[in-house]
Each structure stands twice: as structure tokens, then as C-alpha cells.
Structure 1
Amino acid sequence: MPTSPQSPSHQAIIRPNGSLGIVPVDPLDAKFGQGGSVPAALIKRFAKSTVEGLAYLVSTRCDGKMPPSIQFWRDFTNRYFRSLCRQQTPAANCWESPQCPDEPSLREILDAAPPMRGLEYASVALLQSLWQLLDDHTQHHATAKPGGLANYLHSLRPDWNLIGRVTFHLAENKKNPQLPFAFLATFTESQSGGVIKHVALAEALKRSIAENDTTQLDALLAPVSRAAETCELIDKMLDSRTLFSPQAWGIQQAYRFLSSVPQMEDAGVIVRVPNWWNASKPPRPQVQVKIGSRNQSMLSGPKSLDLDVNVSIDGIPLSEQELAELMAAREGMTLLRGKWVQVNQEQLQTALDQWKQLQAQHVTGVGFLEGLRMLSGASLGDESFDDQLRSWTRLEPGPWLKQTLDELREPSGRINIDPQRRLKGTLRPYQQDGVRWLWFATQLGLGVCLADDMGLGKTIQVISWLLQRKQSSGKKSKPSLLILPTSLLGNWHREVQRFGPDLKMWISHRSMTDAAELKRIAAAPAQELAGYDLVATTYGLARREKWLAEMEWAMVILDEAQAIKNAGAAQTKAIKAIPSEGRLILTGTPVENHLGDLWSLFDFCSPGLLGSAAEFKKFAKSDDPRILSQRLASIRQLIRPYVLRRMKTDPNVVPDLPDKTEMRVDCGLSTKQAALYKQVVHELEQSLDLATGMQRRGRVLSVLMQLKQICNHPALYLKQPEFAGDASGKLTELKQICETLIEKQEKVLVFTQFQSMCQPLAGFLQQVFGKSGLILTGKTPAKARNKMVETFQQDSGPPFFVISVKAGGTGLNLTQASHVVHFDRWWNPAVEDQATDRAFRIGQKKNVVVHKFVCRGTLEEKIDDMIAAKKEISRELFGSDGEIELTEMSNEQLMSFVALDLQKATTS
């Protein structure tokens, strides 16, 4: 590794626009080997541009171990440059661009990618664009650099220089069946006009000796000597001098040569071989193991998938005669079905014996988890199969399992249910697919994860799925348990009432159920809840309420399931101990990006899939970056059937989305907020009888403003300088939303009507994002305002923009934001919509999610409910400008509106 300044643990990142970067790694991910030290200069190159970073990454200045995510991009970039170097180049400044791998090959490359931030943005199109970017970059530098392509390649890696290099050529000679291969060693030299010519190595040596050019002679012989040190065949040819003349070779010589290609390339020799040979993955017969050919109704049984074992080439089984011929071959390669294949009878027979033995031990089949581990290559503590024999094995799903996995990965139109049945609403096409997937997966007995982006409607999909279960199971079914953050209780209650009124729902929470009823049901839960379809409670209560684990539930559903990502937390352990027939997790955060989180989530929804914590940690670690990358990729393959993830940017989702999605976020009050709120309401009640006319209106407006300030943060009301994050329920909710945005690398606008709240919000968000943002208030000069907009609109610009509502009401075009947060409410829908439209306006290509913060049990909730329901009384309370005129309420009405429901506001 170079001696340039080293940075802390880092990993690669893919941004939503397709650019690459290098960012610090979370400490937990670093423990799983996802990060590592990288040269500071490499980070700077990627900050400059993606292609500058990739070119620097493959140069000698970055030699050494790299974290798996960065090694992945190094391997991809090396693929481009090696393809370029292997071409028969006629001229230094004029060459054919290396052909980008075909789509199946690119998909195979993507499947091998290890976890990294933004992996959900990786696609075949991205790899194709990066290949083209590398080619454009190479052409530019080769044209601008003296000496052309050869010198540019030499500047990256001296052993990539095409001029002055020794090349070993191996070609097929189909005219001679006894000696079917031909060998030739050449030397490349530059002629006038930049043309590169291959000269026989013997001729080049004679010329160097005749000219007494010892430098040239050393350049010729040094890489050949190094190759001879590691390759016995080259050593013997060098001793006998046969290396310097054309050779006709038999099968055994050709195979020994092909097997030594990596060592010869490492020695500095260019090697050109037939394109059917891949040194890292040579063509060979393999033991073909098909898993799950027989039809199954459930996958949760202990022994459900059958094993079918034979020997095949490219997936086509060999006949007995072909297998006999293969086992009789003794020269390392044989011509079979018109193509040369590698032969190693010992390895092939050992793999065949091992799989036949495993088949005999599992006459009734293997479990679904074990079968998927076999297919993915993730052993996870299973020592039944030797890693060294994996390359001689071809594992694939049988017809039934393949169809099942296809339906899990792409449920559209495959599963025959009607997601609209009994639902009081209309599902978008991708949501109907989500319901079908949930139905199909859970009918098979799988515990799964619905990981749709925030704003795509996970709630309504689950409601539809619960209605399907209710319809099919009849009246005797057990209730399902929904565990969620307190802020989502109200939203789920409203959504069930609106879309699934046939579902009988009970909420185990003091904000919606009185203490006597809670106590009665806790005493005999199975009996009391027999008629219910869904019981909802919070994460905090799931830890404390022991009765939840005293009955078996039909399903346990976790919303915002990242709440159990810490496997060692008491809350996580308590939730995992709740018995159920099935489990479902919901999250808007990509689940593949963090290994520690991943294990805990799947230990809940599909126990055993990722092995024990110790087995998983051992498997997900290796000192060899490539082995580690392969293991991490196998984990991704393993969980794929268990996860359905759609993003707002998916082509089949975008047409179905509304322009903007509005969500109410119910926030609690901290103890201090609740105490201050009660105090101000009490003072208002005492003063109302003493004030009349304008004095009363002024008093009411003043109190309303104070209550708004308290709902935001106690320090805002008390005019204190310190805004502690845990002193405000709204800040807690804002942090949770932004943690998801960090993973998605999305930007957010945060609106507040209080100018004095802007700076504290920006300071808090800077801590959450780890980056500074922007602030716009009425005091911001016009020139600075325009500069801020320009900065925010850049892809690499700040992740958040805090704006006072009045200052940001007009004249802004902030289409880089895909989320809008109304931290406090103007109580005038027109003003809020005007602020929202700073993000959603002409030129916006993203679906915009609008989060409207409301403090439960306070004036904010009551006014929001009133506006949403459009009650008759509300019409009397709106002024000509759309503002709610609370000052015109009677004393009784006003006190009813501002009164604090303490149970709703403060309980967790």
C-alpha cells in the first residue's frame, strides 16, 4: 500500500445520479469488514469525478488491499483496461473500444456486488454508462498525452504498456488433431505513424544482440525470466530455447500453459489465448445439483426440497458414454461436444461422491433455508460441503423452486388473488403486486420483508393483505399483532378505518384505550381478543407488556422494523420472543446495506436463515477482499427471495405515483413540553374572563403562538440558547425520517414559521446528516438567496435546506428535494401548499413526499383533524385569507381546542 496519508475506515457509495464516491463506514459495518483504510488521494479523486477515481483506483498508486465495496469497482475497471490491453492494437492513437460485456454478464457482475451504500441504484444501465465513461476518459487522455494510448496505459500501470512488451500467443490448430494448439512468443514495437507491430521474440533478440543493446535485451528477457520462475513449462522452454520459435502443442502442454496464465500475467507477460478460456472460471464439467424439482404446498417444513444429482456441461447432463470418456481423459483437457473443457477426474469424482452421499442422507429432501443457502453459496456454519469443490458444482433450483422464486421476485400477474377484494380504496398496480407477493410468500410459510420506499404505501398493502387473510381463514383465525412507533399509531388507525373497516382492530395503548380495558385484556388476552383481526401496540410497550408473549399470534408485523436492528437490545429480545405462526417486517430503508442490522432483522422474520450471530459474523469476515466480497454477495443472494423492494425511481412504479404524497406525522411531547403546555393553557383559562374585545383577541393570539412554540421545542418558548434533541418530540421524529433519507441519499426541505427556529433546526440536522445545510429566512439577502438555491440544486449539494415559511413562499425552485417537512403548521392550507411547491413545481422529476408534523393530544392535532374532516364548524372558523380564526371561538370552544390530552401526548 502506498505511503500516502491514510483515512479512517471507508467504503464505496453509489449516489442516486449514478456517480460513485468514498465515504466513512459506520462502526458496526467496519466490524463486519465492510470498510478499510484507503489512500486520502483516492477519496479526493472520487470527489473530483467518478472516472478520475476509477482510473486512479486501478493505478499502481492504489495497489494493496481495499474494502470489498471498493475492490468491486476496482475489478470492474480492471475488466475494461484488460479488455483494452488484450486487443490486437494496430496503432497507438487509433484503436477499437473494448466491447462492453453483454447484459447477462453485467447482471452476473451485479449479483456479485457486496453490500454498499446506494447499491439499490446499481443496474445494468449504470455499468454500461461507467464502461462508456472509462472509454471516453481513456480516449481523451490517449489523444492528449505524448506517446498516445501506450504511454497513458504506462502512466497507470507500467505492465499495461503495449509497446516493448513480450506476448505469449496460444491458438487452436484445428488442422492437426494430434497437435491441436500452436504457440508463439512475440515482442511489440512502435513504428512510424504510431503503428504497433508484433515481432517474433527470436527476431527481436537477434536484433538486440547485433546492436549490442543490453537495455533492450534486459527488457525482453526480464519478464520471461520472471514467468519461468512460477511456470515450469516456460522454464523448460527457456532452457531448451524452444520458447523463441513457433511450436505445435498437444493437449497436455496447452493445458499446462492455460493453467499458468495468471502467474505469467503477474510476471509482466501479455498472454493471448482463445476467448473460450477464462482463467478464473475455466470451462469444465460440473456436478449439477437441482434443488426443489417436486411441487410443494408449504416451505416451512423441515424437509421439503428434493435433490437431483448428475454431471453436466453448461447445464446439459452428460450421457453415460460422455461421462465415461470424460473420466478416461488424462491430459487436463478434452474435446467434448465440440468444445475444449478442463478435466480433473479426482475433483469431479470427489464432488460427485460428496453430493451423492448428501442426497442419500436426505432422502426426504432438505429444508428450504438449507436449500437456499446451498444455492447462494452462503455456508453459514454448514460444513457439509467443502469450499474447494464448489467450482466443480453447478447448483440451481429445480422447476418448481425456480417458478416459486420467480414469483417471489416478480409477483406481477402471477398470483391469482384479487387485492381489491373488500378494500375500500384503489390500489396502484405496483401495490397490487405487493399484496400478491405478501399473500404468496406467507402462504408458503415464509417470514418476509416489504421494503418499499417511504411514500409508496406499505400500510395500505398490508391492510389489503390482512383482508385477504380474513376472507380465507374464516371466523376462527387468531389476531395479528402490529408493533410500531408511537407516532404511527394514529396513522394506522385512520388508514384501517378508511381502507379496511371490515378489520376489527384494537389498540393496546393508553392514548386510545382506557386503563381498565387494558388491564382486563392483559389478564386474559387469548379470550378477550378472540374476535379481533389486528392488535396494535408500540415498541416501548412490546418490551414491557409481558402478556404479549403469553399467546400465539397469527402474524407479528413490525413497522419501521429498523427499531430492532440492535440485536442485543432488551426491546429486540422481547419482540423476538413473541410467538406467532408467521412474521413480517416493514421498512423504507434498504436492508442490504448494513450487515449487523441485516442479521437482526432476519433473525426476527426468518430465524435461522442467516445462521446464528456467531456463524454469520464468522462467515462475513475474511482477510482476502475477494473472498469476503464473494461471501457478502452470497448473503445478498440468500435474502433476495425474502425481500420485496420498490423505489420511487423504478420505471414500473413512476407512472403509478401521484405528483406528491402527503403524510401526517404524529409527534409526542417531552415531559418538559407537556408541563409548559399545561401551564400556558391554565394561565389562558384564568385570563379569558377578564379580557374582552381586542384585548381578548390579542391574548388568544399570544397564547396560540406560545403553544406552537412549546410544541416545537421548550427552548423556543423559553428563549433559551440550547435546543437539546431529546427535549422535543418533533426533533425525535425528524431524526428518524432523516436517518432513512441518509440511506437513500435524498434531500429534504424543512419549513418552519419561526425564524428563530431555523438555526437550531439546521444545527440539529447537521448532527444527524454529518454535513452542513442551508438556512433561508426573511433576513437573507437576495444575492445570497440565489446562490443558496444554486448550491442546493447541485447533485453534491447540501442534504437539507431549512426555510422560514414566509421567506420561502415564493420565488424558489428547489427540485432536488424529494421530501418536504412542515415542522410546524401554518393552519392555512394555502400557505402550506405554496411552501410545498418550492419542491414540487415545474421541472420536478421526483415524487415528493410531504411530512406534516402534528403533536398528539394538542391544539395541533385537533385543528389538523378539523381541516382534514372539513367539518361544518370549520367553515365558520376560516377567514377570507384561509387562516383559522380561533380568536372568534367562545371560551368553551377555545379551551376545548387548546386543552392537552396528556395520555395521548406523552405516553410511548
Structure 2
Amino acid sequence: MIKISKDLSDRGIKIACHVLKKRKPAEIKIPLFLNPVEWLKDILPDEMEVLNVLEGLWQEGILQEENNFYVIPYEFLYNIAEDQRRILCLPVEDNSIKVYIKAKGILGSSDFALIPDIYIKDEKMGPLDKRIKNVVSHNGCFYLIPLNLYSLLNEIDAYKPTADPLLQAKIIAKVKYKAKSANVTFDKFLESEEVYYSEKLDVDIVKHSDDHIQIVPVLGNEIDSLLKDSKDKVLKQHNTLYGEGIKRKRIFLEDRVVQNYNKILRQGHLKGTQIPRFLTNPYSILPEDIDLSNFSKRVKELGLKVYRANPYINIKRDKDSGWFDFEIGGIIHEDTGFSLDEDGDYIRKNELKNNAKIDVEEYRHLVQKAVESGEDYVNYKGNWVKIDREQASRFLNIVDNEQFRKTQRIDITRLPYVLKIYENIENLEYNETALSLKKQLTGDFSISDFGYPMYLKNCQLYEHQKEGFLWFKGLYENHMGGLLADDMGLGKTLQIISFLCYLKECNEIKPTLIIAPYTLLDVWESEIRKFSEITSVYRHTGYKRYKTPKLLKNYEITLTTYETLVRDQLLLGQIDWQAVVCDEAQKIKNSTTLTTTAVKALKARIKIAMTGTPVENNLGELWCIIDYVQPGLLSSYHEFRKTYQIPIEDAISNGSEAYVEVKNKLLNTIRPVYLRRVKDGILSLPAKNEFFLEVELTALQEKLYCQLIEDYKNKGKSESPLGVLQKLMELCAHPRLVRDEGEVNTFQLLSESGKLQRLIELLNEIKRRGEKAVIFTHYIKMQAILRKVIMDVFGINCPVINGSIKGDRMNVIDKFKESSGFGVIILSTRAAGVGITITEANNVIHYTRDWNPAVEKQATDRVYRIGQTREVNIYYPICISSRGKTVEERLNEVLQKKLQLLNEVIVPSRCLSITEENYDYLLQDFSDWSA
């Protein structure tokens, strides 16, 4: 019997766990492997479930050890999932909690204060009740104050008594501001005080004309309404409106908000070329902490767009003569991430069509207008178009070359020279023919050509990584970009680092830019230092980051985030980068975002994208990434949708194989700039064996299965089919997940579930071989049952991993890996299936199935990956019955069909998940199950 006590301490909820042994309580330690197995063998599944959750919170750093007991800091309570709070009997947010706030004393007196009275279920907290931070104890029960209400109470707690009426009025304003989203009432005095406060600033946009827009600072409806008659008024931290006395209205603002408000007010009216400069880089005017997500919608509504015109070359080969005709001119692209419609098709009046071509004389006219005005933007048919004057000048000089002007034709022997001239023009648009010809001329790389770069260290590259290095080298030498879309675990980062070492060897690495999510910057920095002798690395983030290009150019590698790039695109866009690398390139999958626009505007000799999931929602994401690494290769998005996206996605949705031919055409088109390898067939890993084990439902399971179906039928459409499907899946795992009553000893638990019985048989086989096993299931209750039964049957305390493993808590995994012989670890399929390597195990058991085969594969890859030396056995126990097909059988059939699409990079990953479209098939056999 386990006793778990909870109490409130100054720092958090104090938790102590004890087990009664020989009539004496013994303390249970977290993590559980610190305890003797005999202490835990006789505990109940519900008690094991509690201990599992506590261990999971310890792994995530939420449960912390302190003076022989454990504590959950109060501020972490909001980070614990509701089902975990329920299992631990922790206080949950109670929306019945109300606060009545009254004033003590008068404004201007030193004894002025705000007194909050807290009501729980309409009962005022009494003298025997207590509150510590965000938890209140009332009538012997604990309650968690809702987060918004706790934020308000924090303001009152932080108030320091003063006789300054301004500071007193400010605390009233702040509390009333936070009370808008909380269950709060005020006394008559406080209610009558017309004080206002805002802790954030937004912006709106007003279009006066095509040549005049205004950026308007927004503080919130109430304050903006008060300021409507003085929109151009500079604000202070304390602002009094409408005179003094009882009619006055006072606005209080934080210093940061005041500064940003007044900055926007001063710079808000934009005219002429200021408009496109702002639309392509809003943070040139707006403060960094302004959220532009809603602002961008407003820009789109007003139809504000900016375009850029680049030189264009189209090469047509004469089939008979071997000569090439050159079509030259300009091509117009949309240059702002604000306003492109989702499908890219709808064009408003006077708008330019994206990827529209103009002839060379019209392009020359735009360039001349830019030169004469000395501006980078010119007005073209009522729209703003950006012209790179330096780029355009080089292009027109080539076009005006006498020999080229005479024929505009060239022999194949001269083609490489001409291409080299043209690719010196930044962002030159190539068509498919030019790129394929270039690939023919450069030839394929051979692994025999590989030599380790001089500055690479501490690693031996696999064959596929050597090929990746040579691929990057070839791209760079031929002024082409590339998308590396290797499967997870194939070492994309190391391939990039190898290439960067080659650039350093050629003395061409400075400056290089790597853009990645903030959480990966540490990984990049440590990997660069671990595997290379590149030491000139600078992290460009935070308020203290450099503000001039000269300083950035001094570093070989600059690391930054996508968010910082958007804010600093004018700064970073001035630099001629040798290479720009976009990690997790799905960040630029949407052509309508500021992030994508900022990335595509960067100048670089080679642009590299890397992601294992280039297509998540639709094929337009692949087009957008390819348009970054090699613009023009897939033509306009409009043409891409018509040629590839719609035919492929429609065919997949209809279950047709017709997409294969179109898919192959697409892959052939992007092949020169696209490299994807999957583990199967690449790594020299041992064999992977899959076993689908049929397991008969027990009589109890069949009885409950029929009852669940009858209940569902009787409720008609009032219950979601998803609800009954989930209950049936839980039942197949174990009846205790849907009905928890009766005896709970190990013998009873085994007798109730055919799948659990088969699991123990399987683990006995694995034990005889002296091997380790990993069991995947996401049901917390099932994890507790498994842990108890395995402990009672095999005498081992197997660890359970539910969430992320942080820092030194990896010793839970390490202890399992280091133990000799037979061992078992239980993992949550999704939460613990990422960031963990357990090649010491070679048996994987998917006790319950995930509804996306990609997630299951990723979980399996914790075991089947680089470092695995033994054959890997993967087991899928599936419940069957003589009454008819079970939900598990149907689910396995659907997953096997979806599995065929798993390695098809052009298939959106959303297409792999079980959706409502599959529910009818999963429920197809309900008529066979009658009670």
C-alpha cells in the first residue's frame, strides 16, 4: 500500500511517497529505479499510475527534490496536463473562483491599498482558509486560481505602499485592465475611477491613396476611443484627459509602450517609395515586439502589394542545329509576404500577375526610371516594383553586347561560358531547359572523387554523407542551390558542416549564414565546434546583436533565427553571403509570409534548404522551398498547381494511382537540386523483421465490446464515432482502461486481457534470448498496468518515459541502456518517440497503435538507426474475434495502405493520419457485434 501526502509549502506543493514495509513506512524515491523492486511489487495499478506520472514530471524538471521530499513549484502547475493533475489529485483551475476588490484608505494617503476578497463556490475564504501564490485551501480542499486571475492578484501582491497618488492610480488601472479577462468585481469607488492601462501595443493601417498610407498605433478599444480627438498627440507614461477632478480620465502606460507609440506616431505617414520599403520590411519602422500576424491581414484587405522585376533568360534548344536561342527580358514577382492569395490565382484590378514576363525594352524602361529617380522602387501600372539597379546594369550590358545583339544565338560549345556570365547576376531566373543543360555539362559526381575536407574532424562519414558532400560541392561550383530532404537520422547537419569545411579550405566560407529555429542554434554551434575547426562563429540574436554589415562580414559563420531575419532583413540583405543555409526549411513553406519573403531576398552564391518534411499540408510547400533554392525551376505557382499539385493531390484523395506518372515528372524536374535518401537501402543496418501477432479477445473483452457498440447504436448521432472508436481501442488494450472495478492483482489483470497475456509470452521469449525490449503505448493507465505486471512476473522495475527527458534526467535512459541482459522500457509513442536513441534494445512492441504510420516509424527508429548491431524485431499485437473484425484489425489494414505512401516525399504528411474519412471503414463490422 502506497501513501502519498501533499501539503502546501512556501515554494510549491510538497509531495512525499511512502510504502508500508514491516509495519514501518519507507520513503519511495523518484525516479523509481532508486527503490528496491520488492517495495513496489505489491502496489495497485492506480498507485503505479500515480508514481509513473510523478516520475514523468521529474523527467521534465517539474517535480523537484528538496530536503528529503519532492515539490512541484506553484508556477509549474499550469504546465501539467489536466489528466495528469487528475491522477495526482492536484488542484485544477476552478472557474468558480471570484474576486471582489475593495479600496482601503483614500488616494494620496500612505495607508491606501487594494484588498482582494476571494470567493470559492460563492463562499468567501475564511480565517481557517489560506492562499499561497496560485493555490487556495478552502474547507480542506485545494483549488488552483485561474492563470488570468492569478496575474491580477500578483499585481496587488507586488504593490508597495506609497503616498504618491499617481502610483496608486496606476495600480488601480493595471488591476482593472487585467480584470477584463477575469472573474472580478470592484467596490463603488474603484468602479467609478476612470483609469486605463495597456501593456501591449498593436498597429493598424489606413490607406489614404495609392501614394499615401498611415500606420496607426493601437492601444485597445477603450483607450483608442479616448484618444480619437487627439490622434496625433504624443503620449507620456501618465496622461490626463478632459481636465481635472471627477471628469478626468487617466491613461497609464509602461515606458516601452510609450516609446513605441510615439515612434510610430512620428513615422506613421508614408508616401511614395516609403510605402514599398515598409511593406517589404515592416520592422524598418515598427518596433521589434509588435506582432504582425493580424496586421498582415489588414494589408491584404487593402490590396497593398509590392513586386520585384528581375532579369530573365529562357534557353531554347534547336533540335536540328545544336544551337540555342535566348529569350531575354524581365520577370515580375510578388515581393511582399502580406498579400498573395492562398491559391495564388485571384488578381485584383490593376494588380500585376505573379511571374509575368516583360520584354527587354520594357524592362530597360523600368530600369531607366529607377536610375533617373535614384530610387530602388518605380511605379509600374499603378503598382510598386523593385529594381536592383546594379544587377540590372550588368544584365543590360551583356544584352547590349554587339555579338549577342546580332544573333541572340550561341553554339553549344559556348554555352557554359554564357551561363557563367549570366549567373553572376543575382537572382537570375532560370528555366528548366537551362538548368537541365547545365547539369548535362557538369556531369554526375562519383564517390571515388571524395576526399575528407581539411578542416573536418572527429568523424567518419557514411557513404551517403560523402555523396551529399559531393552534391553540395557540385552545386556550389555551378552556382546552383539545393534542397537536402534526407530522412531523419541520416546526418543532414554533418553533411552541411562537411561542405562548410570545404568552403573554408577554399578560403570562401566568409561570410556564411545559417538560419534555424531558436531551439536548434545551440545544436548548430556545438556540432560546428565538435566536427570542424571552424571557430569564427557568431550568434545574431537578442537586443544586443550587431547592427552593421561590416561586423557580420568578419565572421565565417553567422547563426540567426527566422524571426530575427525578418526584423533585420535590411541589414542581412546587404551582405553578399557565400552560402545561406535554411534548417527546418518548412519554415519557408508558405509564400505569403514575411519569413519566406525575407529569406528569398537574401543574396548568396549558394542557397541551401534542409528538412526531412518538405511537404506537410500541400505540395505548394515544396514549390515554395524549391523557388528559394532555384527560382524559376518550377515556373510560377499558378503553373505548378495546374501541372503538378492539383493532379497529384486529387489522385491521392481519390485513392488513385494516377498520381505516380505526374509525381515522377515532378521529381525528374527538381532532381538536379533535390536530394532525398531514406534509411532503407542507405544505411548498412541489420535486418528489420515485422510480426503481426493475432490475439484473441477474452470473454470479458468481447462482452464489453458488444456493450460499447450497443450503447453507441442507442445514442444514435448524439455521440461522435471517434469517441466509441477510442473506447474500443482502449478495451482491446485492457478492460481496465474502460471499466475499473473488482480485483486488481496481477493474475486478474492477465486473465482479463488476451493482448497482455501474449505480451508476457513474448517478453519471456525475449528474456530467453537475453535481449532488451521497448514497449510503446500512449495510454497512461496502460503504462501503469504494464509496469506492475512486468514487475510482478519478471521482478524488474522497468522505466516509463512519457515526456521530454531533460539534462541529467537522461540517467533514466542510461541506466536501462547500461544494464546487462534482459530489460524492458515503456515509452509514450509521441512524447518519448523523439530525441531518444536506444540501440541497446533490438525488440520493439507497439502495444497500442498510433493513428499515423509516420509517428510509429519515428518511434521504431529510436531502436532501428545508426549504431544498431543486431536484427530488430518489431511486433504488432492485434486483437481478433470470431464475432467479426475488430477495430484493431481494420485500423491495421488502413495503416498498411497509408504506409505505402510513407516515403513518398510529395505526399503531404497529413494524408497519412487516420481521419473522419476512415471512420466508416473502421466501424464497418459493428453489425456483427450484438450483445
Q: TM-score range by the shorter chain?
A: 0.3 to 0.5
Higher strand share: 2
The answer to which structure has the higher helix fraction is 1
